């Protein structure tokens, strides 16, 4: 149990510290002070804040998770000053959320604060019924709900202190998304793709090609679309409706069986809260495509399952039983073996990434052994074969002598990255290798998917 408590504290403290650091970085970025800490902090420009995550919705989700961790830590400490510090930290996280100008972050804040205020009210009502115990785990409902006006006050005040034109939350809420680039347009296109291949989908990783190659009857989302920005829709378009129903339905069944609405354990409530903000974000974007959110998601699943549901207010007990791997010789050696294997895989991935990334760097910045004949030295990568093929295709001129090979390479690469320079190589190699019908079809797709790039290509071809 002691090890479990240490793990839970490590998760909560880690999230809180990461969130506070990110909030501070975000405010520096918002006021264009990040250059003071260059190159350790990115400089997105005045009025923009995303910490070290390079995307404001991810930044907002991290801060929301840190807010949940702060509430869990508040529930476990009894010192007045510690609790005040945690409430101050919650205030900083809220101001960071306002600086993110993320509508997803606003929704997360409302849900986290609203549910926490409800639980605080329930806790105090139960205490009055039981005899008036004045020691409470959560802050008062009013203190929690005060974070909402703090958010809107910060949303109003932060742009005023910038002194220039910046995007602000009230404007985003009034105006919505740019015409033709909203999620409704995106999801409409994805639903069209699902209707074309409902049973088995287009294949994992094929959404970007499916979107490029489809000529929609209605409005078209104007950029390369490699994720549906909604997890159930993404599973449906790439794996098919049956697989999406099986995966999502199985998870929903697990949640219902666990009965999170009946939880009383602070630790399990924290885990449910962290899962909740990640899943909410997953209905609007794709946080589970990034390592930090995958890690937290996996840890929360490990905290919640497999375990029988309980309503205790105490930290959960994890009984140790001599069975499974333990019966084969103890869990320690198997965990050690798993850790060594994982570290070995990570070491190989890091080495291969370093090697393959050389072709994407200027010659002067490459490792000495890769400054000459770089492409020839990158063959044989298992993890990054697509990146090597992409580099070879885009760096090689199409000629009558290599047209057939370039055509086959371009046909494969367009599934990896259907961007204009790949499509142009596909068209040129198809024309030179005698695939005139395929070339004409690609020209029409190119014209519809990337009209500006298509016009530039036509101008250069004349």
Please report, for the domain that includes residue 429, its CATH number. Answer: 1.25.40
- Quote the DSSP letter at residue 223: S
Report whether 304 contacts 272 (CB < 8 A): yes
- C-alpha span between 11 and 303 (Å, rounded): 11
Looking at 197, 214, 245, the residue that finishes a domain is 245
16: tokens are 């809180």
pTM of the model: 0.89
One domain, residues 129 and 196: no
- Quote the DSSP letter at residue 376: G
| Residue 292 counted as domain residue | no
The pLDDT value given to residue 316: 37
Q: At what angle do helices 291-304 and 56-76 cross, to 10 degrees?
A: 30
The pLDDT value given to residue 49: 93
One domain, residues 119 and 238: no
Q: What is the total count of domains within the chain? A: 3
**Which residue stretches of the chain have pLDDT < 70?**
1-4, 131-135, 164, 176-180, 306-330
Q: 65 is in which domain, residue-wise?
A: 2-176
Residue labelled with tokens 């895989």: 345
The answer for 32, left when phi > 0, alpha when psi is -120 to 50, beta otherwise, is: left
Integer angstrom CA distances of residue 38 from 34, 46, 98: 7, 15, 24
One domain, residues 67 and 166: yes
One domain, residues 6 and 140: yes
The pLDDT value given to residue 76: 85
The pLDDT value given to residue 450: 96
| Residue 327 counted as domain residue | no
């Amino acid at each position: 149990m002691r090890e479990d408590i240490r793990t839970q504290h490590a998760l909560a403290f880690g999230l809180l510290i990461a969130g506070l650091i990110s909030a501070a970085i975000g405010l520096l970025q918002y006021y264009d002070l990040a250059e003071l800490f260059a190159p350790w902090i990115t400089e997105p420009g005045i009025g923009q804040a995303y910490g070290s995550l390079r995307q404001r919705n991810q930044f907002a989700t991290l801060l929301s998770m840190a807010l949940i961790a702060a509430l869990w830590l508040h529930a476990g400490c009894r010192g007045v000053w510690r609790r005040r510090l945690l409430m101050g930290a919650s205030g900083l996280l809220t101001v960071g959320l306002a600086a993110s100008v993320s509508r997803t972050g606003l929704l997360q804040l409302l849900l986290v604060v609203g549910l926490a205020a409800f639980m605080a009210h329930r806790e105090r009502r139960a205490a009055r019924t039981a005899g008036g115990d004045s020691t409470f785990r959560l802050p008062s409902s009013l203190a929690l709900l005060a974070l909402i006006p703090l958010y809107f006050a910060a949303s109003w005040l932060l742009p005023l202190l910038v002194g220039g034109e910046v995007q602000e939350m009230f404007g985003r809420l009034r105006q919505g998304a740019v015409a033709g680039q909203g999620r409704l347009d995106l999801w409409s296109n994805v639903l069209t793709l699902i209707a074309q291949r409902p049973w088995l989908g287009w294949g994992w990783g094929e959404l970007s090609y499916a979107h490029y190659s489809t000529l929609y009857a209605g409005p078209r989302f104007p950029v390369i679309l490699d994720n549906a920005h909604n997890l159930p829709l993404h599973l449906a378009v790439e794996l098919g409706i049956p697989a999406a129903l099986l995966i999502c339905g199985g998870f929903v069944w697990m949640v219902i069986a666990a009965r999170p609405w009946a939880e009383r354990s602070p630790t399990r409530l924290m885990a449910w809260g962290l899962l909740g903000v990640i899943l909410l974000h997953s209905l609007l974007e794709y946080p589970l495509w990034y390592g930090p959110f995958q890690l937290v998601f996996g840890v929360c699943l490990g905290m919640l399952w497999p375990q029988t549901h309980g309503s205790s207010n105490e930290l959960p007990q994890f009984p140790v039983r001599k069975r499974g791997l333990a019966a084969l010789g103890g869990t320690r050696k198997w965990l050690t073996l798993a850790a060594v294997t994982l570290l070995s895989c990570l070491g190989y991935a890091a080495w291969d990434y370093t090697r393959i990334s050389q072709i994407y760097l200027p010659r002067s910045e490459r490792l000495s052994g890769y400054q000459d004949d770089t492409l020839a030295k990158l063959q044989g990568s298992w993890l990054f074969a697509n990146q090597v093929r992409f580099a070879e295709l885009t760096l090689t001129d199409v000629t009558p002598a290599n047209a057939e090979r370039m055509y086959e390479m371009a046909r494969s690469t367009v599934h990896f990255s259907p961007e204009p320079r790949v499509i142009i190589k596909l068209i040129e190699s198809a024309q030179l290798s005698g695939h005139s019908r395929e070339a004409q079809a690609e020209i029409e797709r190119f014209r519809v998917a990337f009209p500006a790039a298509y016009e530039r290509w036509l101008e250069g071809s004349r």
